[in-house]
Structure 1
Amino acid sequence: MKSWSTENYPLERCVEMRDSEMDDNATSSHSTGVQTPLLNNFVDGAVDYRGRPVLRSKSGLWRSAYFIIGVEVAERFAYYGVSSNLITYLTGSLGLSTAAAAENVNAWTGTASLLPLVGAFIADAFLGRYLTIIFASMLYILALASLALSTLLPATNLQVTLFFISLYLVAFAQGGHKPCVQAFGADQFDANDPDECRAKSSFFNWWYFGMCAGPTVGIFVLSYIQDNLSWGLGFGIPCIIMGFALIIFFLGTMTYRFSENNEDKSAFVRIGQVFAEAARNWRMTHTAISMEEEACGILPHQGSQQFRFLNKALLSPNGSNEYGTVCNINEVEEAKAVLRLVPIWASCLAYATVFSQTSTLFTKQGATMDRSIGSNFKIPAATLQSFIGLSIIILIPIYDAILVPLTRSITKKPSGITMLQRIGIGILISIAVMVVSALVETKRLKIAREYGSLDDPESVIPMKIWWLLPQYVLAGASEVFTIVGMQEFFYDQVPADLKSVGLALYLSCMGIGNFLSSFLISVVERMTGGDGRDGWISDDLNRGHVDYFYYLLAGISAGAFLVYLYAAKSYVYNRGTSF
């Protein structure tokens, strides 16, 4: 988006707009007795779709956020309409084994979660978030149409090839769509205004509410259509929904706030230069660094002492100040802010590995259980994933309306608890998810043995699928804390023109978690199976021990939580907040 300046928008017109706004304020002050400060009427660092300065009263906020949340609801409906029941299509129509299908789903989901890094880079460095969303939406529609078409073709190598090409095109499309839409939504709130800052924190809650409402409906409706009517129709409906989503996004264009970038260099270039110059000056002594810090007025507080080696980027290559500093202090602090995110990101990987089980092994568990309702209706196993969304839909209003004001009155923090505290609570709940899942699976295996189902993988275990509800509901509760907390944290703690990349970092964490899950499944399968033995994760779950795998994940998560506590305790927020 073109930045506003006196070159592309005459100064006289800007003054005219401000004078007009002042007149409006004067009129308003006669009736209310209150004079609104002039500077508060315009949003610093934001322009409209034509590159003009924007009025606070006529742009952004919830009037824009509603359009953007609506687009995300549609996109998540489409994405989960494909992903939630994917393992059923792979083991059914394509005839893959359970382990192979789970690995394929994890690999695809992991790729889909890593690609936002690419989409965010393109948006922040080249196209801008608005145009990236438009192009990604068009690719989404094309990919979903191709995916639906592939299911209608005869079962040949061509059909399989087209299916997987279309599937990964969906991953590419959401990689450009997801981080940009969320960052663009958060851009509609001014972080420098106290009221809008509080509204932005609330936005992340309601954003995730919308994100879960779409999948909840999608999983309920589309999994039934896919299992009982047609896979082509089940993948075609999301294509139509994405078409409507693009129209919705266009409708809000005139209300949007677009970030104005006044930097000569992109954040990628600035941060990369800091690391390059620090590496070039690696031989510089601490004395030289201290002298340069003193010259730059750097105070010896905790934030400045973290990653102090990057301060070498302040020095000229020969160690003198004769030609001035290579990088300025703001650029060095930007690089430190990004580097500080790495320990938090790494310590959340175990949570992401747990999260990936909800769309793979949980679904395969449910497929072996009694799914009947009444005498004629049988619910698809993937339907239970919608209860994650339902629990989130119920819990987020409770969190936003009750828990936040309650904790805010105690802690005096705008969001009640800090972002890192919120993430930590969710990680603790995720450990409980794995323990509960293991206990339920142990009971399912016991019933399978009692009813002689060990050698009959097609048999239905006389145990209602509703036994799985607690693990799904707990998974939803953990998302309310960890996922929403990660979204706000990675958006808030990166430089202003890297917001899309910040959100992509959170998504990449979830993606790496899927790859780690796939890797763990592969290792466990090799170590516990082979030579005619059934491993923990067997094609016939009744002869496997998925409960042992869940206990393993619970142990890994507990160890990772201790690492997270250390990383969170030592983290220095950009704005001085403590853990």
Structure 2
Amino acid sequence: MENHQLSPPKGGWKSAIFIIFVEMAERFAYYGIAGNMMMYLTKVMEEPVATAAKNVNSWNGVSSLALFIGAFFADSFLGRFNTTLISSSVFLMGLMLLTISTTTTIPQHARTALFFSALYITALGEGGHKPCVQTFAADQFDENTPEQRKAKSSFFNWWYLGIVVGATIAVLVVVYVEDNISWTVGFAIPTLAVGLALSIFILGSSTYRKERPVGSPFTSVAQVVVSAIRKRHLTEMSSGRGLYYSDDDVAGHGLQVLKLAPTNHFRCLDKATVIDDRDSMMKSRNGWRLCSVNQVEEVKLILRLIPIWVCTFAYAIIVAQVHTFFIKQASTMNRSIGPKFQIPPASLQVIPGIAILLCLPIYDKFLVPTFRNLTKIPSGITSVQRIGIGIGLSILTIATAAIVESMRLNVASKHGLIDDPKATIPISVGWLVPQFVIMGLSDMFAYVGMQELFYDQMPEDMRSMGSALTNGALGIGAFMSTAIISAVQGITSKWGNPWLVNNLNLAHLHQFYWVLAGFCALDLVLYVFAARCFVWNRTAHTVDPLV
């Protein structure tokens, strides 16, 4: 009798651990490069401060918005495994070219061209990697068994810990190497880490549970819009054939679609569900002419989120300052610890993460139960309210930064250092800690609230788009920061001298911060209005009863 051995089941922790290594290495590499980019552009490439800030923001913006491309290809054509593999390889190639561009054996003009080309190659790799890898790792756990569901819950905790560890080591270690030993060595370390992690990821490929592409949610949205435009002159009464209710073609691939009741919002889109004579004569439904009621209602859910999403751009603008002008502020201040060690300016970026790790348990264990008793809401406060608090804290962040910058300028003036751009101002860099801490609290409320809202209120088969919206807001905020810098420079140049000059002691960075604070305060007013008008999806799994 032959001995038939069953192949071991795929997925589970033995598979997820390989993917966690890839994400840790990617976060390690990203923060090792992004965390100190402002200093590299101003010190090594000798770019003006305003130009360097715009370049950093543009790169962060492309990295964040490129994830829409990655999500589209993963859902529509390649699947999450192939997209993760290809995008990680692209990211590694960009890191290799970036490392080569820092060597002195290449002519200066060629180094500059290679550097920026490599930078945007890494941005494309990041865009393909980010929306897929966490979902692919979560796919390794089968929700149909209690053991796997429990393991999946534990996985997210370890996943977040891996991200924090990778980013923290990069900001503390890699940044120090870049500032004190060699930029080439500093860039080579993340490159080697990603290369090693990618090899580990490939080694585990035979153990992975791989889902096939199920179609992009962007296509579903486009179909509703096109169908509604085609039938803009029709009504249910004029067609005489009623509305299309079946969701069989919408679900596809055995997916279970959440049924949504018809609503009175965005009534113009209901045209897409009207059956006309041409539809009734077709043997099979044309998705670009006729959409189901459920499909249209899913698109309405997305449209109802857009005002909230737009109002988060101002918060994202403040996030962009953490990686640019906050670091430049720190570079001018006293960063000494003892007689020999100096804190790298970019290492201060670790403070928001530490603030989150310390404050999140307090929020979860003490504040949430207190708010729950008052509001009778399971989460204590709604996700919309949580975002609003985060936006308010971002205003406090930039206002604090403006006050500290005024203090720094006063100290520079008292010591006669205004005209010396390379002088270390005798004021401790510790004065910057509050603005970094408040920014961490802002992230804890705004960013996490965005993730919760866009996941909870999105249709089940469109939740990858919810993740894309959350990170896409940060990308748009980075681009908006660049636009604001250009506008401020242009306007202030006409009045006299531009505010953001290379010598930070002669700059008007504090006034620029107050402009951002005013802009965010106006945004908060608009956000409150949008939040009050927001209509909740009452059929979602987790429903916030109040705004």
Pairwise same-fold verdict (TM > 0.5): yes
**Structure 2 residue 525 is matched with structure 1 residue 562:** yes
User: How many Å separate the matches in 2 of 1:548 and 1:414?
Assistant: 42
Distance change in 2, residues 1:241/1:489 (3 Å)? farther
Query: 1:159 maps to what in 2?
Result: 111
- Find the partner of 1:229 among 173, 181, 191: 181
**Structure 2 residue 35 is matched with structure 1 residue 78:** no
Greater CA drift, 280-289 or 164-173: 280-289
- The answer to whether the 8 Å contact 2:489/2:500 transfers is yes
What letter is aligned with 1:221?
V
- Find the partner of 1:141 among 56, 79, 92: 92
User: How many Å separate the matches in 1 of 2:388 and 2:308?
Assistant: 10
Report 1:541-552 matches (<5 A): 541-552=504-515
User: How many Å separate the matches in 2 of 1:201 and 1:336?
Assistant: 30
What letter is aligned with 2:74?
A
What letter is aligned with 2:268?
F
Q: Displacement, 1:145? A: 1.2
Query: 1:42 maps to what in 2?
Result: none
Q: Displacement, 1:66? A: 5.1
Query: 1:463 maps to what in 2?
Result: 427
- The answer to whether the 8 Å contact 2:457/2:536 transfers is no
| Number of aligned residue pairs | 522
Report 1:274-423 matches (<5 A): 274-285=224-235, 292=242, 304-317=263-276, 326-400=290-364, 402-404=366-368, 415-423=379-387
Which runs of no fewer than 5 residues in structure 1 stay unpaired?
1-19, 21-49
Task: For residues 510-548 of structure 1, give each alpha carbon's deviation from its aligned partner in whole angstroms, at most 9, with x where no partner exists.
Answer: 1110110011011111111357x4332221111122111
Distance change in 2, residues 1:197/1:257 (3 Å)? same
Task: For residues 433-453 of structure 1, give each alpha carbon's deviation from its aligned partner in whole angstroms, at most 9, with x where no partner exists.
Answer: 011111111111111111111
Task: For residues 465-518 of structure 1, give each alpha carbon's deviation from its aligned partner in whole angstroms, at most 9, with x where no partner exists.
Answer: 110000011111111222222234334443444443332222211111011001
**Structure 2 residue 48 is matched with structure 1 residue 97:** yes
User: How many Å separate the matches in 2 of 1:571 and 1:208?
Assistant: 31
Q: Displacement, 1:414? A: 5.8
Q: Displacement, 1:425? A: 2.1
Task: For residues 215-243 of structure 1, give each alpha carbon's deviation from its aligned partner in whole angstroms, at most 9, with x where no partner exists.
Answer: 22101111111111111111110011112
Distance change in 2, residues 1:266/1:446 (3 Å)? closer
- The answer to whether the 8 Å contact 1:315/1:321 transfers is no
User: How many Å separate the matches in 2 of 1:472 and 1:199?
Assistant: 34
Task: For residues 187-217 of structure 1, give each alpha carbon's deviation from its aligned partner in whole angstroms, at most 9, with x where no partner exists.
Answer: 4567899998898788767644443332221
Q: Displacement, 1:382? A: 1.0
- The answer to whether the 8 Å contact 1:371/1:465 transfers is yes
Greater CA drift, 473-482 or 401-410: 401-410
Query: 2:255 maps to what in 1?
Result: none
Query: 1:269 maps to what in 2?
Result: 219
User: How many Å separate the matches in 1 of 2:194 and 2:471?
Assistant: 21
- Find the partner of 1:183 among 115, 128, 135: 135
User: How many Å separate the matches in 2 of 1:565 and 1:193?
Assistant: 42
Query: 2:414 maps to what in 1?
Result: 450
Distance change in 2, residues 1:200/1:529 (3 Å)? farther
User: How many Å separate the matches in 2 of 1:397 and 1:419?
Assistant: 18
User: How many Å separate the matches in 1 of 2:261 and 2:217?
Assistant: 24
Query: 1:521 maps to what in 2?
Result: 485
Report 1:243-258 matches (<5 A): 243-250=195-202, 253=205, 256-258=208-210
What letter is aligned with 2:312?
C
Query: 1:37 maps to what in 2?
Result: none
What letter is aligned with 2:126?
Q
- The answer to whether the 8 Å contact 1:363/1:381 transfers is yes
Percent identical across equivalent pairs?
44
> Normalising to structure 1: TM-score of the pair?
0.81
- Find the partner of 1:510 among 474, 478, 486: 474
- The answer to whether the 8 Å contact 1:392/1:476 transfers is yes
User: How many Å separate the matches in 2 of 1:204 and 1:318?
Assistant: 51
User: How many Å separate the matches in 2 of 1:405 and 1:553?
Assistant: 34
User: How many Å separate the matches in 2 of 1:178 and 1:467?
Assistant: 34
SS at match of 1:544: coil
User: How many Å separate the matches in 2 of 1:409 and 1:254?
Assistant: 49
Q: Displacement, 1:133? A: 0.7
User: How many Å separate the matches in 1 of 2:209 and 2:244?
Assistant: 39
- The answer to whether the 8 Å contact 1:120/1:500 transfers is yes
Q: Displacement, 1:563? A: 2.2
Q: Displacement, 1:312? A: 0.7
SS at match of 1:463: strand
Report 1:40-79 matches (<5 A): 59-60=11-12, 67-79=18-30
Q: Displacement, 1:424? A: 2.2
Greater CA drift, 517-526 or 149-158: 149-158
Query: 2:391 maps to what in 1?
Result: 427
User: How many Å separate the matches in 1 of 2:531 and 2:148?
Assistant: 27
- The answer to whether the 8 Å contact 1:183/1:499 transfers is no
Q: Displacement, 1:143? A: 1.2
> Normalising to structure 2: TM-score of the pair?
0.85
SS at match of 2:423: coil
- The answer to whether the 8 Å contact 1:183/1:503 transfers is no
Q: Displacement, 1:339? A: 2.3
Distance change in 2, residues 1:217/1:399 (3 Å)? farther
Query: 1:11 maps to what in 2?
Result: none
- The answer to whether the 8 Å contact 2:235/2:274 transfers is no
Greater CA drift, 338-347 or 567-576: 567-576
Which runs of no fewer than 5 residues in structure 2 stay unpaired?
1-5, 248-259
Report 1:9-20 matches (<5 A): none
Query: 2:3 maps to what in 1?
Result: none
SS at match of 1:543: coil
SS at match of 1:337: helix
Distance change in 2, residues 1:187/1:477 (3 Å)? farther
Greater CA drift, 555-564 or 223-232: 555-564
